[in-house]
Structure 1
Amino acid sequence: MALMQLDLPYAEGADWLGQLRHFPWPMLLESGRVEVTGKQMAADEEASLGARFDIVVADPVARIIHRRPCTEVHVQQTVERSEEDPFTVIKRWLQPHAVPRVPDIPFAGGALGYFSYDLGRSIETLPEIAASEMPLPELLVGMYDWAIVVDHHLQRCQLVSHTRFISPRFLQDLHQQLLQKRQLPAAQPFQVHGDIRHNMDKAGYAQAFQQVKNYIRAGDCYQINLAQRLAVSVSGDAWQAYDQFRQLSKAPFMAYLQVDDGKGVPFEVLSMSPERFLQVTDNKVETRPIKGTRPRHADSLRDEQEAQSLANSAKDRAENLMIVDLLRNDIGKVCEVGSVKVDALFRLQRFTNVHHLVSIVRGVLANGYHALDLLRGCFPGGSITGAPKLRAMEIIEELEPHRRGIYCGSIGYIGFDGSMDTNIAIRTAVVCGQTMTFFAGGGVVADSDCDKEYQETLDKASQFLKLVAQCKT
């Protein structure tokens, strides 16, 4: 069936999300602008960086929720349960409804949601040591049959659908409702109460850091991504927190999810991720691992000095290269032999609060493989585990006090057309009950300095700390 495309007034995806929050499971994938040192960003590069499109969805036809070992599929008032691989369950919803890709429309229906870091337990056998204080689903995606797509390059906004599950009349009625712009109800102000609670103080971090060094010295691993968790008590509307967060920390792969856990517990995910995990377009695969960080400064001279220090750092380049090699191996599992290439190494990118080194690895999906096979084969992303990946995950479980949950997992979409785009869920807050949590970490290697690595976690959390300060009562 031909794609239905109904024009809407051009506006940011965040504005349209506000119009859809009364529907179940509204979600927003939002782009932001980044700087690429040394050249002006062309339109195709802008799209590749995630800075072109916003995608807004709501009211899924099915909700797929996985808690190991059970996967639930909620359709209207029914719930089907199985112990099948959750990636297989999603694929079974997508493949019978396959459609051709439409140019300039990244998503017109399919699966959209999150794949938590702890979903790795459904792929690999891992120890169970760290505490799980916020036991949210390990996987949560909606199957959506329509989307609002905002194209910032063409300055165009459309309501789109292949009408696989809904009727054309339903889409036309929804279009008319959106054109009328409903009056939004007043929201309860978002507020932070009390002080931030760190699950590792500096001494605790130093102890874990030293243990990582011991494992590296013993030959267990080459690099470990060590993270701390920040938690704070909150009240009010988390959408307001997202709106403030996005003003503080624009990034190319932002996301907001307003969902529930399938058992009646609502929660929200606020992601300001700078990092792409995996993209598939017409069977072309791309990943953009980030390794290497320096803080931004208001003073332009000092800011440039930090940027050049990062660009010239042998240590940070070595960290980046380790992860590039890991990802080349991961995507090579499902890509055509000889197609995996490193297209860029150590590209300096400037974000709101930090400089990063970003590399680009590309390949071509081999015949017989689906985007979900790629996602499963690479999950979780090597840039936020370390190398070798499985041993790194075992060490993370041993040394970090709390399970990561959504942090260092992935948020994104897999469309009926086989396209996929996902972020690494870093710079990501989760609001559940009266608590907001946020993790920040960094790669530790043989020559890492403890004080610098601890400070890097705070640099990465700096915009979250500003958000907390702004909202504190």
Structure 2
Amino acid sequence: MERVLEYIRAGDIYQANFTQRFLAERRDGLDSYALYRRLRAISPAPFAAYLDCGPRLRIASASPERFIRLSAAGEVETRPIKGTRPRYADPAADAAAAAELVASVKDRAENLMITDLLRNDLGRVSRVGSVRVPTLYGLESFASVHHLVSVVTARLRPGLGAVDLLRAALPGGSITGAPKIRAMQIIDELEVARRGAYCGSVAWLGFDGAMDSSIVIRTLSITPDTVIAQAGGGIVADSDPADEHEEMMVKIRAQLRALGEERA
């Protein structure tokens, strides 16, 4: 993380989404679909997905994040997440955590950077003047976390479709950084392993041209020998390593519980 901060101080980037990978040995007899159902029960999410990619990879995702939705009429929506706080059983503590998140200058700045990046991505394939931000820093609460979520909308240009939209926006701004290409180069340099399916996108495309897609976070990748979990967060100039580590552990808690490996 210190190297990311050095790049920020040098002016290379404003933000990078830096992640850490957790590996567990796959136990004999592990049922990957049962593991997905357990993860989904622990952490219900609007973009949960299970993918059987063959004997060498299965993906169990409990993602809360929409990447891009495209309607048959050409209406586009993306919902970047930046800003996280844990949920609490005590209502007063839970409300205080949510209020602190909404008021956080750092988290709002992170969210704004990525919202602006996505405005730019969508603008490349959208009708001139159609890009809007109807919601900025909206609070959304899930089973184990509160998030700040913004909403960016647009109208796709005539003659373009879902594939053009994905080409303009992949990979998602919330899991790369700003500027996107330089952030990706730094991530490639500093992260110790390739992300694989993690931080990619799961999508469906309809015969009418409609599409919806997720960002593949809060996910377990199951291989013949290993189960992989990964989490991270947006690093900005005033990020504190201890706080970023705590946020990462909040994000990965459900995956560790599903594996039965949580120590807390």
TM-score for both structures, normalised by structure 1: 0.54
Q: Which residue of 2 aligns with 1:452?
A: 243
Structure 2 letter corresponding to 1:274? P
CA distance in 2, matches of 1:266, 1:226: 26
Corresponding residue for residue 375 of structure 1: 166
- Residue number in structure 2 paired with 1:212: 4
**2:66 aligned with 1:276, yes or no?**
yes
User: Any gaps of 5 or more consecutive residues in structure 1?
Assistant: 1-208
In the TM superposition, what are the counterparts of 1:250-265 in structure 2 within 5 Å?
A: 250-260=44-54, 265=55
CA contact (8 A) 1:285 1:365 kept: yes
What is the distance in 1 between the residues matched to 2:112 and 2:121? Answer: 14
Return the offset for 1:252: 0.6
**What is the CA–CA distance in structure 1 between the aligned matches of 2:262 and 2:57, rounded to whole Å?**
19
Match of 1:433 among 206, 224, 246: 224
Tell me what 1:227 maps to: 19
1:320 matched to 2:132? The reply is: no
Relative to structure 1, the CA distance from residue 470 to residue 243 in structure 2 (aligned partners, 3 Å threshold; closer, same or farther) is farther
Q: Please give the alpha-carbon distance, in whole angstroms, between the structure 2 residues aligned to 1:456 and 1:357.
A: 13
Counterpart of 1:244? 38
Q: Secondary structure at the match of 1:461?
A: helix
User: Are 2:179 and 1:388 aligned?
Assistant: yes
Cα deviation 1:62-114 (Å, max 9, x = unaligned): xxxxxxxxxxxxxxxxxxxxxxxxxxxxxxxxxxxxxxxxxxxxxxxxxxxxx
Q: Following the alignment from structure 2 to structure 1, what is the Cα–Cα distance between the partners of residues 46 and 146?
A: 14
Superposed, which structure 2 residues align to 1:261-410 within 5 Å?
Answer: 265-281=55-71, 282-410=73-201
Aligned-partner Cα distance in 2 for 1:370–1:450? 41
CA offset at residue 434 of structure 1? 2.1
Deviations 1:221-253 (A, max 9, x none): 000101000111123211110111111000110
SS state at 1:230 partner: strand
Unaligned runs of 5+ in 2: none
Distance in 2 of aligned mates of 1:434 and 1:239 = 16
Structure 1 residues 92-111: aligned runs within 5 Å = none
Q: 1:441 to 1:450 in 2, by over 3 A?
A: same
> What one-letter code is carried by the residue in structure 2 that aligns with 1:231?
L
Counterpart code for 2:50: Y
C-alpha contact (below 8 Å) 2:253/2:262 kept by paired residues: no
| CA–CA separation in structure 2 for the residues paired with 1:395 and 1:357 | 25
Contact 1:311–1:348 under 8 Å retained in 2: yes
Q: Give me the whole-angstrom Cα distance separating, in 1, the residues matched to 2:261 and 2:172.
A: 32
| Equivalent-residue separation in structure 2 for 1:405 and 1:465 (angstroms) | 19
Indicate yes or no: 2:211 matched with 1:417. no
Residues 3-14 of structure 1 mapped to structure 2, 5 A cutoff: none
Name the SS for the 2:69 alignment partner: strand
> Aligned partners of 2:240 and 2:23: how far apart in 1?
26
SS of 1:418's equivalent in the other structure is: coil
1:93-242 equivalences under 5 Å are 209-234=1-26, 235=28, 236-242=30-36
Matched-pair contact (CA < 8 Å) for 1:320–1:357: yes
- Larger RCO (CA within 8 A; separation ≥ 6): 2
The residue aligned with 1:196 is none
Taking only the aligned residue pairs, the percentage that are identical comes to 52
Please report the TM-score for the alignment, with normalisation by the length of structure 2.
Answer: 0.96
Report the CA distance shift for 1:248/1:373 in structure 2 as closer, same or farther (over 3 A). same
1:33-55 CA distance string (max 9 Å, x none): xxxxxxxxxxxxxxxxxxxxxxx
Q: CA RMSD in A?
A: 1.3
Q: What is the SS of the residue equivalent to 1:358?
A: strand
**Secondary structure, in 3 states, of the residue corresponding to 2:160?**
coil
Return the letter of the residue paired with 1:244. R
Q: Distance between the aligned counterparts of 1:471 and 1:295, measured in 2?
A: 16
Q: How far does residue 445 in structure 1 lie from its aligned partner after superposition?
A: 0.3
Moved over 6 A (4+): none
Q: What is residue 162 of structure 1 aligned with on the other side?
A: none
